[in-house]
Structure 1
């Protein structure tokens, strides 16, 4: 092989590295004001270049063509969604670096990035056709209790969906029965693979991640405030228009005096108050804000409290200092190896020299103050803004989906469907909490979440069967959409037309070929350095999938021998969180990262400051130790080819 060439494995590793990096970079960019105005369609009419090529591609190819959503008003994207995203970015929600922990926003951002990079890679690189797995040559029987069969069923299903007729078979069978066992064993095996992976993600999010307890608490608060019984009664109304109007009044109606005076024209632009949805958001975040303020008060009155001037300076920095100063403080903290508190005080009239305990309290005070401000800003943007884009966006969405809601209402008992959903959430909340006597509690296992999904899967099967059986025109619409979506992954054909501004020449393997060409233009020394990293990364990917296969085997066999579930996705997610920089916890010291023990310890505190999650540190470390493997160094590859990959995606 020529020196300037990459092997297929090395080329795949390069494409994986650059897609992984670019996806997260684009998501991170949205915290900067104005990012949404450089996105392209559907937020702007400009058909030129975009600063978010991967996100724009996925949105254009898979989200915009969705039945119902494709009929949404132009204002939905260009006004409602654009303004909400832009205002959230202008709100400058807190950074993990300043807070010293990985908050819910960082947890969700990294989770989304790690998840959507898979369809991004499949869309840009294409799913290669596997002749050995093509329909007709695959294994005919699959045992859902055999881990190897489950893994093979998933790979065979991917081939049959993209290159075979499995989509048509699934839609036809769903109309015939709601019994999973009546489907082909291939589908049953694929279903088990998907179920185990969903259970794994739920377990990891709600139990293992540092923000799991806070997420659970938030879900529980929202669950307790939703008027399920009232909505179920409204869903029983036979007339579809009356039913939709009733549900909309329950969720979105505002009954303040200002709402009435605006409506009749006696006032214009007055604050109309909040609807039920906004009240729930405001109330849940308000409870959290109250707990955070309670902890702030304890610090202010505690014996190790920093001087009042220091606390005032922190408050001023959080509330009044511009974004540019915040960025400069982070830069100095990283470059100089000083905590963010030390840097803030060094730029003020207050002494930056604090005793160790006071410094620790000051860091905690900063984190809590940022948490309070975050919740205030979210409520301001989503619940107190005038005009109310959130309510208008929901109304736009309901208007676009009204024909589909009418079909589903006639095909399915929606009241029973909501009851099934309520029971599922109740059951999920119950099993997500540690079980056992106080002091001897054990966190739930992946197998517990698998059992949860097994118990409730018949509800979703029943819903899909009723829709497929009783609303054939609707199912035909969705069947055509799924066919078009699957064809985006076909490596042998040109992808279907879409609104994406990313050129088709980079799809279905085009970007990968251009990156091989870019590699060939590097100097020999750079080529060798990059190739060395690609070889290490290729081994890393193989180890990832081997470890994931071992864990899915353990979960299916119910051996309870793995602390967390299968999925290379989880390792990528954890890697993004572990590599997040966090302020030093000492006045002078190295920058910490999300994977640092002290950051994880701080993150395992609930919103009220109590320890939550794992029972002890040894158990927590066990999960970290078994999280395999560690990502190798890829800095040279990113440095040499990262920007070129981005240029290729945006058409450069």
Structure 2
């Protein structure tokens, strides 16, 4: 029977919902770079629940984060003063855009990664997880079979949301710390999670342009953390004394300003930094030093160096121009096909881009990106470490106060000093394993399977911790049991969700959004319906191909063929698509084209080390091959977004 024109098939409805949630989630995350976005967020930052500028993120926060044991008891000032002001000040700092820098920075990499991950739970609680009426577990799941591992994951979701698997898992965790004592269903789900986490780690630290930089930062923080002092402090038997000592280790400030402010002799004097702030400042300071060294090398390139007048004009644009002027320069750069540097010079008294050589212009473009990176780090330190009043320290103190009852119970149930030792060993092992091995000139990067092995080596530490809490901390376990049951209920299809302060209308959650979108589609003219259906069919095929490719790769990892340079997980491909679609300034002085994150030159520039040479475990060709094998080009959905984009936001109660 021919499909009715005014109706969407199940596959088309799924594709439409996928398109809209993917776009909306990233748009909301990206919106936080604009000052004032957090002021229209809704609870817990503002009391009104009628409208939110970020309905998807606000829904996830209200349904899951605000309900967390411990965090649910935090003081209102934690959200309405500390966190809100920090987010607002970071937005006002106007951290640099990837477009200006000519590379995909850490901020863009992390923002797109977070978006690609959290859109899945967003779809789950808005669209509902469908219930299988005839659901029945298999008697046994083969952990060596990719099909069984994938099936175990799907069956686990059914049993967690609609069955009694939560009760079963909590009970078994209290009995044993041996994963093999759990049903093969749980073991299969566990293997699926391990492989996907390993895939994400491999992608972030090996394939991502910012991988080497992230590794350097993790290593620097790891080197500065006082693990020995922390472990000794956690061994203190009296919980109140232990918490007090730990707060002194991490948050105490010993400057003259801190003393005079406390006594009342001064108000607003610089109190210096606590240990956490010193670590943040020191790590970013090392990064700034190395970036300055790269910039100075460009300044000493003789006739190829950017002229001083050019450098001064670019520095003035960074330091003295405001957000409107910056946005106008980007607009002109895109419209005129000129690099952002060429546009800035054309608006200043410095020599124009046409008056300097090609090499000078290229070096000026790189120098400009380095200066932006330096300023970013200065602004982050200013907001997080040098602000008065110190909202970061106050926020941590709020959290510790809210979590004190849980800390007290966990301290009695678990040897926390051993837990910190396990964490230190894991990070040390990860950093060591993440470095290439083999003879010089023939080094090989770690594969996805290496990260799977890393997680397998250390998973017992997690199981031991969970077992000790479940066995010895009955009260704290009951808190988490109730929370997990509540969180699972948020995904039930066509059921009233547990109460929360979400700005999204109740009739829209747990599957209701599908009816809203279907009604909207039915009201469209036939020709428009036809065009949209064409896009939805293409997108449906794209999703099918993504999941098929991911299943193939998870099979390769489980069989340990070491044949896939790109790990499983459809979300990784969606993440890469977001990166690939990021606009980047043209590199030409005129008659150029806006580049994107997918351009080879952009990736190569992003992988430069602190000496200005291409770094990383893989050559540019190997990166292109690995990413090319794992990322399918997403079909155009322009018409669908044009028709449904704003209507979807209205349905979510966006304001």
TM-score grouping bracket, smaller chain normalisation: over 0.9
| Alpha-carbon distance between aligned partners in 1 of 2:353 and 2:423, rounded to the nearest angstrom | 53
Which one of 420, 444, 459 corresponds to residue 422 of structure 2? 420
Mapping 1:618-637, distance limit 5 Å = 618-637=621-640
Q: Which moved more, 1:162-171 or 1:342-351?
A: 342-351
| Alpha-carbon distance between aligned partners in 1 of 2:420 and 2:189, rounded to the nearest angstrom | 26
Which one of 111, 114, 121 corresponds to residue 112 of structure 1? 114
| Alpha-carbon distance between aligned partners in 2 of 1:297 and 1:493, rounded to the nearest angstrom | 62
When normalised by structure 1's length, the TM-score is 0.98
Shift of residue 614 of structure 1? 3.5
Q: Is the 8 A contact 2:54 2:654 kept in 1?
A: no
Q: Which residue of 2 aligns with 1:300?
A: 299
Mapping 1:243-642, distance limit 5 Å = 243-303=242-302, 304-350=304-350, 351-353=352-354, 354-588=356-590, 589-642=592-645
| Alpha-carbon distance between aligned partners in 2 of 1:608 and 1:215, rounded to the nearest angstrom | 16
Q: Which runs of 5+ in 2 are unaligned?
A: none
SS for the counterpart of 1:131 is coil
| Alpha-carbon distance between aligned partners in 2 of 1:224 and 1:651, rounded to the nearest angstrom | 44
Q: Which residue of 2 aligns with 1:8?
A: 10
When normalised by structure 2's length, the TM-score is 0.98
Matched, 1:20 2:54: no
SS for the counterpart of 2:86 is helix
| Alpha-carbon distance between aligned partners in 1 of 2:44 and 2:324, rounded to the nearest angstrom | 30
Matched, 1:162 2:161: yes
| Alpha-carbon distance between aligned partners in 1 of 2:610 and 2:475, rounded to the nearest angstrom | 48
Q: Which residue of 1 aligns with 2:173?
A: 174
Which one of 120, 123, 128 corresponds to residue 121 of structure 1? 123
Distance 1:256 1:563, change over 3 A: same
Q: Is the 8 A contact 2:566 2:627 kept in 1?
A: no
| Alpha-carbon distance between aligned partners in 2 of 1:521 and 1:346, rounded to the nearest angstrom | 50
Deviation per residue, 1:244-270 (Å, 9 max, x gap)? 111110110000011111111111111
| Alpha-carbon distance between aligned partners in 1 of 2:56 and 2:440, rounded to the nearest angstrom | 48
- Equivalent residues, number: 649
| Alpha-carbon distance between aligned partners in 2 of 1:372 and 1:651, rounded to the nearest angstrom | 36
Q: Which residue of 1 aligns with 2:200?
A: 201
Q: Is the 8 A contact 1:547 1:628 kept in 2?
A: no
| Alpha-carbon distance between aligned partners in 2 of 1:268 and 1:230, rounded to the nearest angstrom | 32
Shift of residue 607 of structure 1? 3.9
Shift of residue 608 of structure 1? 4.1
Deviation per residue, 1:54-100 (Å, 9 max, x gap)? 00000000000100000000100000000000000000000000000
Deviation per residue, 1:318-355 (Å, 9 max, x gap)? 11100100000111111221111111111112223132
SS for the counterpart of 2:69 is coil
Shift of residue 438 of structure 1? 2.1
| Alpha-carbon distance between aligned partners in 1 of 2:490 and 2:236, rounded to the nearest angstrom | 40
Q: Is the 8 A contact 2:298 2:363 kept in 1?
A: yes
Q: Which residue of 2 aligns with 1:88?
A: 90
| Alpha-carbon distance between aligned partners in 2 of 1:275 and 1:628, rounded to the nearest angstrom | 43
SS for the counterpart of 1:357 is helix
Q: Which residue of 1 aligns with 2:653?
A: 650
Q: Is the 8 A contact 2:268 2:389 kept in 1?
A: yes
Q: Which moved more, 1:65-74 or 1:352-361?
A: 352-361
Matched, 1:29 2:24: no
Q: Is the 8 A contact 1:16 1:121 kept in 2?
A: yes
Shift of residue 628 of structure 1? 3.5
| Alpha-carbon distance between aligned partners in 1 of 2:11 and 2:280, rounded to the nearest angstrom | 48
Q: Which residue of 2 aligns with 1:187?
A: 186
Q: Is the 8 A contact 1:441 1:615 kept in 2?
A: no
| Alpha-carbon distance between aligned partners in 1 of 2:608 and 2:436, rounded to the nearest angstrom | 15
| Alpha-carbon distance between aligned partners in 2 of 1:447 and 1:415, rounded to the nearest angstrom | 30
Shift of residue 611 of structure 1? 2.2
Q: Is the 8 A contact 1:50 1:56 kept in 2?
A: yes
Shift of residue 131 of structure 1? 2.9
